[in-house]
A and B are shown apart, each in its own frame.
Chain A
Amino acid sequence: MNNGTAESPFSPSAEKSETLSNNPSAFLSQITGAKVAVKLNSGVEYRGDLQCVDGYMNIALEQTEEYVDGVLKNQYGDVFIRGNNVLYISSI
Protein backbone atom coordinates (compact mmCIF):
# COMPACT_ATOMS: atom_id res chain seq x y z
CA MET A 1 0.00 0.00 0.00
CA ASN A 2 1.22 3.45 -0.86
CA ASN A 3 -0.96 5.37 1.52
CA GLY A 4 1.73 6.32 4.00
CA THR A 5 0.99 10.02 3.54
CA ALA A 6 -2.72 9.63 4.22
CA GLU A 7 -2.30 9.53 7.99
CA SER A 8 -4.55 11.97 9.74
CA PRO A 9 -2.82 14.99 11.24
CA PHE A 10 -5.19 14.62 14.17
CA SER A 11 -4.20 11.13 15.20
CA PRO A 12 -3.06 11.06 18.82
CA SER A 13 0.06 9.21 17.77
CA ALA A 14 1.24 12.14 15.66
CA GLU A 15 4.65 13.28 16.83
CA LYS A 16 3.48 16.88 17.15
CA SER A 17 3.20 16.92 20.91
CA GLU A 18 4.06 20.62 21.10
CA THR A 19 1.14 21.48 18.82
CA LEU A 20 -1.27 19.53 20.98
CA SER A 21 -0.59 21.89 23.86
CA ASN A 22 -1.59 24.83 21.65
CA ASN A 23 -4.73 23.51 20.05
CA PRO A 24 -7.99 25.42 20.57
CA SER A 25 -9.23 23.48 23.59
CA ALA A 26 -5.88 23.82 25.38
CA PHE A 27 -5.90 27.55 24.69
CA LEU A 28 -9.41 27.81 26.11
CA SER A 29 -8.45 26.09 29.34
CA GLN A 30 -5.43 28.40 29.58
CA ILE A 31 -7.52 31.57 29.39
CA THR A 32 -10.57 30.44 31.39
CA GLY A 33 -10.83 32.69 34.42
CA ALA A 34 -8.71 35.42 32.81
CA LYS A 35 -9.73 38.71 31.23
CA VAL A 36 -10.54 38.28 27.56
CA ALA A 37 -11.88 40.21 24.59
CA VAL A 38 -14.57 38.51 22.52
CA LYS A 39 -15.24 40.00 19.10
CA LEU A 40 -18.47 39.18 17.30
CA ASN A 41 -18.99 39.03 13.55
CA SER A 42 -20.91 42.30 13.83
CA GLY A 43 -17.75 44.00 15.09
CA VAL A 44 -19.07 44.54 18.61
CA GLU A 45 -16.51 43.59 21.26
CA TYR A 46 -17.10 42.31 24.80
CA ARG A 47 -14.36 42.46 27.43
CA GLY A 48 -14.70 40.60 30.69
CA ASP A 49 -13.69 37.67 32.85
CA LEU A 50 -14.12 34.42 30.97
CA GLN A 51 -16.17 32.05 33.08
CA CYS A 52 -16.57 29.20 30.62
CA VAL A 53 -16.73 28.19 26.98
CA ASP A 54 -18.24 25.11 25.36
CA GLY A 55 -17.77 23.29 22.09
CA TYR A 56 -20.12 25.67 20.27
CA MET A 57 -18.05 28.63 21.49
CA ASN A 58 -20.98 29.70 23.63
CA ILE A 59 -19.35 31.97 26.19
CA ALA A 60 -20.16 33.17 29.70
CA LEU A 61 -18.48 36.42 30.78
CA GLU A 62 -18.53 38.36 34.05
CA GLN A 63 -17.83 42.05 34.68
CA THR A 64 -18.46 42.65 30.99
CA GLU A 65 -17.90 45.84 29.03
CA GLU A 66 -19.51 46.29 25.62
CA TYR A 67 -17.52 48.21 23.01
CA VAL A 68 -19.15 49.40 19.78
CA ASP A 69 -16.68 50.93 17.30
CA GLY A 70 -14.12 50.89 20.10
CA VAL A 71 -16.30 53.05 22.37
CA LEU A 72 -17.58 51.74 25.72
CA LYS A 73 -21.37 51.58 25.40
CA ASN A 74 -22.59 49.33 28.22
CA GLN A 75 -21.54 47.34 31.23
CA TYR A 76 -23.09 44.09 32.41
CA GLY A 77 -22.49 41.83 35.39
CA ASP A 78 -23.09 38.56 33.57
CA VAL A 79 -23.30 37.90 29.87
CA PHE A 80 -24.03 34.81 27.81
CA ILE A 81 -22.87 35.01 24.18
CA ARG A 82 -24.25 32.49 21.71
CA GLY A 83 -21.33 30.84 19.93
CA ASN A 84 -22.46 31.35 16.35
CA ASN A 85 -21.80 35.11 16.69
CA VAL A 86 -18.21 34.76 17.88
CA LEU A 87 -15.43 35.86 15.53
CA TYR A 88 -12.57 35.40 17.97
CA ILE A 89 -11.63 35.15 21.63
CA SER A 90 -8.49 37.05 22.54
CA SER A 91 -6.46 37.07 25.73
CA ILE A 92 -5.74 40.57 27.00
Chain B
Amino acid sequence: MATSQLLPLELVDKCVGSRIWVVMKTDREFSGTLLGFDDFVNMVLEDVTEYDNLGNQTHLEKILLNGNNICMLIPGGEPGGEAGSE
Protein backbone atom coordinates (compact mmCIF):
# COMPACT_ATOMS: atom_id res chain seq x y z
CA MET B 1 0.00 0.00 0.00
CA ALA B 2 1.35 3.38 -0.93
CA THR B 3 1.20 5.45 2.22
CA SER B 4 2.34 8.64 0.51
CA GLN B 5 -0.32 8.63 -2.18
CA LEU B 6 -1.68 12.10 -2.83
CA LEU B 7 -5.33 12.50 -3.68
CA PRO B 8 -5.97 14.81 -6.66
CA LEU B 9 -7.87 17.36 -4.59
CA GLU B 10 -5.10 17.34 -1.99
CA LEU B 11 -2.78 18.53 -4.73
CA VAL B 12 -5.17 21.40 -5.38
CA ASP B 13 -5.33 22.10 -1.64
CA LYS B 14 -1.53 22.32 -1.55
CA CYS B 15 -1.71 25.08 -4.16
CA VAL B 16 -3.84 27.36 -2.00
CA GLY B 17 -1.93 30.60 -1.59
CA SER B 18 0.33 30.07 -4.59
CA ARG B 19 0.19 30.87 -8.29
CA ILE B 20 -1.71 28.45 -10.46
CA TRP B 21 -2.40 28.09 -14.18
CA VAL B 22 -5.92 26.99 -15.15
CA VAL B 23 -6.66 25.62 -18.61
CA MET B 24 -10.33 25.51 -19.58
CA LYS B 25 -12.10 23.00 -21.83
CA THR B 26 -12.46 25.78 -24.36
CA ASP B 27 -9.53 27.75 -25.75
CA ARG B 28 -9.20 29.93 -22.68
CA GLU B 29 -6.72 30.06 -19.79
CA PHE B 30 -6.33 31.83 -16.48
CA SER B 31 -3.36 32.35 -14.20
CA GLY B 32 -3.63 33.74 -10.71
CA THR B 33 -3.15 33.17 -7.00
CA LEU B 34 -5.45 30.45 -5.68
CA LEU B 35 -7.30 31.67 -2.59
CA GLY B 36 -9.75 28.81 -2.20
CA PHE B 37 -11.90 26.21 -3.90
CA ASP B 38 -14.87 23.93 -3.17
CA ASP B 39 -15.99 20.36 -3.89
CA PHE B 40 -16.85 21.28 -7.49
CA VAL B 41 -13.41 22.86 -7.95
CA ASN B 42 -14.98 26.26 -8.40
CA MET B 43 -12.01 28.46 -7.51
CA VAL B 44 -11.42 31.89 -6.05
CA LEU B 45 -8.43 33.48 -7.78
CA GLU B 46 -6.66 36.76 -7.10
CA ASP B 47 -4.44 38.93 -9.32
CA VAL B 48 -5.68 37.06 -12.38
CA THR B 49 -4.66 37.22 -16.01
CA GLU B 50 -7.23 35.88 -18.48
CA TYR B 51 -5.94 34.61 -21.83
CA ASP B 52 -8.64 34.26 -24.47
CA ASN B 53 -8.62 32.31 -27.73
CA LEU B 54 -7.21 35.29 -29.67
CA GLY B 55 -4.26 35.74 -27.33
CA ASN B 56 -5.73 38.82 -25.65
CA GLN B 57 -4.83 39.28 -21.99
CA THR B 58 -7.16 40.78 -19.42
CA HIS B 59 -6.23 41.56 -15.83
CA LEU B 60 -8.82 40.82 -13.13
CA GLU B 61 -8.52 41.69 -9.42
CA LYS B 62 -10.41 38.77 -7.87
CA ILE B 63 -12.71 36.22 -9.45
CA LEU B 64 -14.83 33.20 -8.69
CA LEU B 65 -14.13 30.84 -11.58
CA ASN B 66 -16.84 28.30 -12.41
CA GLY B 67 -15.38 24.81 -12.11
CA ASN B 68 -17.69 23.37 -14.75
CA ASN B 69 -15.42 24.17 -17.68
CA ILE B 70 -12.03 23.66 -16.06
CA CYS B 71 -9.89 21.06 -17.80
CA MET B 72 -6.47 21.21 -16.15
CA LEU B 73 -4.63 22.88 -13.28
CA ILE B 74 -0.89 23.48 -13.36
CA PRO B 75 0.69 24.53 -10.05
CA GLY B 76 3.14 27.41 -10.31
CA GLY B 77 2.84 27.61 -14.06
CA GLU B 78 2.12 30.59 -16.28
CA PRO B 79 1.15 30.38 -19.93
CA GLY B 80 3.95 31.26 -22.32
CA GLY B 81 6.89 29.17 -21.21
CA GLU B 82 7.50 29.98 -17.55
CA ALA B 83 6.05 26.62 -16.62
CA GLY B 84 9.28 25.08 -17.85
CA SER B 85 11.06 26.49 -14.85
CA GLU B 86 9.14 24.22 -12.50
A and B associate in one complex: yes
- Per the bound structure, the CA–CA distance linking A37 and B68 in Å amounts to 18
Q: How large is the interface on B (under 10, 10 to 19, 20 to 34, 35 or more residues)?
A: 20 to 34
> Is the beta-carbon distance between A24 and B37 smaller than 8 angstroms?
yes
Residues of B within 8 Å of A74, CB to CB, are: none
Q: Does B23 contact A (CB under 8 A)?
A: no
Residues in A neighbouring B60, C-beta threshold 8 A: 37, 88, 90
Within 8 A of B (CB), among A7-53: 8-10, 16, 19-28, 37, 41, 43
Contacts of B12 in A (CB 8 A): 9
Which residues of A are at the interface with B, using a C-beta cutoff of 8 A?
A: 2, 4-6, 8-10, 16, 19-28, 37, 41, 43, 57, 83-84, 86-92
Q: How far is the CB of B51 from chain A (nearest CB, A)?
A: 13
Contact of A16 among B13, B26, B62 (CB under 8 A): B13
Beyond A9-B10, A24-B64, 11 additional pairs, beta carbon < 8 A: A5-B4, A9-B7, A16-B13, A19-B16, A20-B36, A23-B38, A24-B36, A24-B42, A27-B35, A28-B64, A88-B65
Interfacial chain A residues near B42, Cβ < 8 Å? 24, 57
Given contacts A6-B7, A90-B62, contact A27 B44 (CB under 8 A): yes
**Distance (whole angstroms) from the CB of A73 to the closest CB of chain B:** 18
Q: Is B85 an interface residue when CB atoms closer than 8 A count as contact?
A: no
Contact of A23 among B9, B17, B28, B37 (CB under 8 A): B37
Chain A nearest CB from B52 CB (Å) reads 8
Complex contact B6–A88 (CB within 8 A): no
* Closest beta carbon of chain B to A70's beta carbon, Å: 9
